[in-house]
Chains A and B, each alone.
Chain A
Amino acid sequence: MTGLRRLVLILTPYSWLIFFFLIPFLIVVKISLSNTALSIPPYTPQLDLAQGWAGVKDFFGNLDFENFSFLASDPLYYTAYLSSLKIALISTFLTLLIGYPIAYGMAQAPDEWRPTLMMLVILPFWTSFLIRIYAWMGILSNEGFLNQFLLWTGIIDTPLTILNTPTAVYIGIVYGYLPFMILPIYSALEKLDGSLIEAAEDLGCSKASAFWLVTLPLSRPGMIAGCFLVFIPALGEFVIPSLLGGTSTLMIGKTLYEEFFSNRDWPVASAVAVVLLLILIIPIILFQKNEERQREANG
C-alpha cells in the first residue's frame, strides 16, 4: 500500500513534467531540425508511419542542424540574445532593488494591515496586462501625462522622448513584474522568526547588522525565487518591447515573432526557441547543483 502511494506521489510530478514540458519541448526540437516547406504544416519531413521502418529511417535521415548553424552565421541572433540578457538582468536587478523594501515594509506592518497591503500588490492583476502596458504608452508618450506634468512643473522645457526607447522597456518590465518579486520575498520575510533578530540584538548586533547578518540571508530563498520569476519571462518578453520599445530595441522575443510570422520559418523559429531555453536552463541547473552542494557542505 505504502509502495503504491509512493509510486503515485513520485509519478504525479514526473508525468506532469513529461506531458507538459518534455514532450512539447521534443516537438519543438524536432521542428528545429526540419526544413521549411510550403505546405500544411509548413515544414518537412513528416513522420510517415505508413511506410514502416523505411519511413522512420527517411524521417531521421532528413533531420539536420542546418538551422542552428544558420543562427550562428548571422550576428542578428547573437546580438538579440545578448541584448535580451542585458535587459533582463538589469530589470531583474532594478525589480529586486524596488521590490525588497516594499516586501520588507509589508512584513513589518501590523498584522491587521497585511491583507490590505497584499491586496494592493495583487490588485493590478485584475486588469489585463495588455491594457496596463497600453496605459504606459499614454503616460510616456511625447504628449503624455508624464511630459505634461514635467513641463507644467517647469523641470523641463521640451518633452522628453521616453516612449519607443529602451528606458520605456525597463519601466514596463519593472512595473509589470514587480509583484512577482514582492510576493516570494514577502512570504520568506513573513515566516522569519522574530526571536532570531531579538537574539542577534541581545548579543550586541546593531539593527543594521542584524538585518545584514540575519534577515537578509534568511530571505535569500525568497529573493532567488523572485529573481527567477522576473528574469525568466523578462528574457523572452515580447509584448513590452514591441509596444514600448522602438524599432532599435532588439529582443529575442521579437526576433522569434518575426521568424514565425514574417519569415514563416517555423524551423528557424523553433531553433531560436531551443537556444533560448538552453540559455535559461543551463544556468538554472548549475545554480541548483551549487545550492545542493552548499547545503550538503553545511550539513
Chain B
Amino acid sequence: MQLSGMTFAAAILAAGFAGAEEVHVYNWSDYIDESLLTKFQEETGIKLVYDVFDSNEILETKLLAGGSGYDVVVPSGTFLQRQITAGAFQKLDKSKLPNLSNMWDLVMERTEKYDPGNQYGVNYMWGTTGIGVNIDKVKEVLGDDAPVDSLALIFDPKNMEKLQSCGVYVLDAPTELIPAALKYLGEDPDAQDYDTIAKTEPVLTAMAPFVQKFNSSEYINALANGDICAAFGWSGDVLIARDRAAEANNGVNIEYHIPKEGALMWFDMMAIPVDAPNPDGALKFINFMMDPHNIAAASNYVYYANGNKASQQFLNEDVIGDTAIYPDEATMNNLYTTSPWDPKVNRLVTRLWTKIKSGT
C-alpha cells in the first residue's frame, strides 16, 4: 500500500516536470555505474528515469502487455529474438547512432543470430554461464584435483553428493541448465527437438536432490558469505561475489571457471520498444552508452565484458586482463550460443523443469 502511495506521489512529481524531455530506461539490476546516469543528464539535458528488473520473463511480460512506457530495454539475445518476432521493437535509426563504429565485430557477428543485420539491438554487455566455487571448501570436500573447470562438478552425482554438505546453488533457468546438460552429454546444446532435450532428464534428476536451492540471484551473497561452496551461475555475478568476499576480508576465496566442455555465451541487448514515448531520446541514450569511455566505466564497475572494441583501451587491467571476463581465443571458440525454443517445446521444457525440481 505504502509503495503504491509513493509511486503515486512520484507520478504527480513526474507530471510536474512534464515540460522537460524524459527518457525511461529499463535495465538489469546492479548493471551500471550510476554516476553515468548523472553524466547523461548533464550532457544531454534529458531527464533520465532509470528502472531495474531481475529477470527476462518480467521484462517480456511488460513488453507483450504493451504500453510499458519504456524507451530503452535490455533483454538477452534469445528473448530479443522472440520479442522481435512478436513485433515488440522498432528498427534503430542508425544515422543517429554515430558511435556504432566503436562496436566489436566479433560480438556483432554473434548477435546477428538473434537479430539479423543487427537492426533492432545494440550489445550492452555479454558474459558466460559457468561454475563459481569457494575453492578451499571444494578442495576440502573433493580433494586437490576437484574438477572445478568441468561440468562434471555439477552434473556428476558423485561430486554433487559430496558437495551437498557445503551447499550448491543452481540458476533457476531451464534455458541455462538444459543447454549445459546437453553439452555434458555430448549433444548439441542448441537442440530444438524435445526428444533430444528430454535426454537431459536423467542427468538433471540425478543432481537435483543435492541442490540446496534453484535461484538466479541469491548465489551472489551465499557464495560471498561462505554459506555455499559452489554455484552454477553467470560470470559477472560470481565475480561480484569474489569482490564482496575480498572486501569483507572473510577468508572466502571465490573463483569463476568457464567449463572446459564449453559454456553458454549470452548477450544483453539495448533495444527500443515499438511504443516508446521518446524514441529520439532512446537513441541518444544508446549512443551515449556506446561511447568508449562510458561503457568502459560500466564494465569496470560490474565486471562484465562489453561489445565495444574501442572501449577496451579504457578498461582496468583486472577486467580486460581477466580471462574469466574476456576469455582467450581458444576458450572463445569453445563458447556456444542458443536460440529460443518454439512455444510447444518451451511448454514441455518448463513442465520438465518443474518435474526435475519438485518431483511432481
Do A261 and B358 form a contact, CB below 8 Å, given A40-B87, A74-B351?
Answer: no
A36 to chain B, nearest CB (A): 6
Chain B interface, >50% SS class: helix
Query: Interface-forming stretch among A110-118, A213-221, A262-270?
Result: A262-270
- Report chain B residues within 8 Å CB of A41: 64-66
Q: Once the chains are docked, how many angstroms separate the CA of A262 from the CA of B341? A: 12
B253 to chain A, nearest CB (A): 20
Do A76 and B360 form a contact, CB below 8 Å, given A40-B64, A42-B64, A263-B347?
Answer: yes
Render B41-63 as a binary contact track against A, CB cut-off 8 A, 1 for contact. Answer: 00000000000000101101101
Q: Look across to chain A and name the residue whose beta carbon is closest to the beta carbon of B63.
A: A40
Chain B contributes a number of interface residues (CB within 8 A of A) equal to 31
Q: Once the chains are docked, how many angstroms separate the CA of A264 from the CA of B75? A: 15
**B86 in contact with A42 (CB, 8 Å):** yes
- Report chain B residues within 8 Å CB of A264: 57, 60-61, 64, 343, 346
**At the interface, yes or no: B354 with Cβ under 8 Å from chain A?**
yes
Chain A interface, >50% SS class: loop
Q: Look across to chain A and name the residue whose beta carbon is closest to the beta carbon of B356.
A: A247
**B82 in contact with A38 (CB, 8 Å):** yes
**A76 in contact with B346 (CB, 8 Å):** no
A152 to chain B, nearest CB (A): 20
Number of A-B contacts (CB under 8 A): 62
Pick the contact of A76 from B2, B86, B88, B354 — CB < 8 Å? B354
- Report chain B residues within 8 Å CB of A258: 350, 354
A115 to chain B, nearest CB (A): 22
- Report chain A residues within 8 Å CB of B350: 258, 262-263
A247 to chain B, nearest CB (A): 4
Q: Once the chains are docked, how many angstroms separate the CA of A263 from the CA of B346? A: 7
Q: Look across to chain A and name the residue whose beta carbon is closest to the beta carbon of B344.
A: A36
**At the interface, yes or no: B214 with Cβ under 8 Å from chain A?**
yes
Render A16-55 as a binary contact track against B, CB cut-off 8 A, 1 for contact. Answer: 0000000000000000000010111110000000000000
**B360 in contact with A39 (CB, 8 Å):** no
- Report chain B residues within 8 Å CB of A69: none
Q: Once the chains are docked, how many angstroms separate the CA of A91 from the CA of B2? A: 27
Pick the contact of B86 from A40, A260, A265 — CB < 8 Å? A40
**A261 in contact with B354 (CB, 8 Å):** no
Interface residues of A (CB under 8 A from B): 36, 38-42, 74-76, 79, 128, 143, 164, 247-248, 250, 258, 260-265
Q: List 21 A-B contacts (CB under 8 A).
A: A38-B82, A40-B64, A40-B87, A40-B88, A41-B64, A41-B65, A76-B354, A164-B213, A247-B213, A248-B357, A250-B358, A250-B360, A258-B350, A258-B354, A260-B61, A261-B55, A261-B57, A261-B61, A262-B350, A263-B350, A264-B57
CB-CB nearest 10 A-B residue pairs: A261-B57, A247-B357, A42-B64, A38-B86, A40-B66, A248-B358, A262-B350, A263-B350, A247-B358, A39-B86
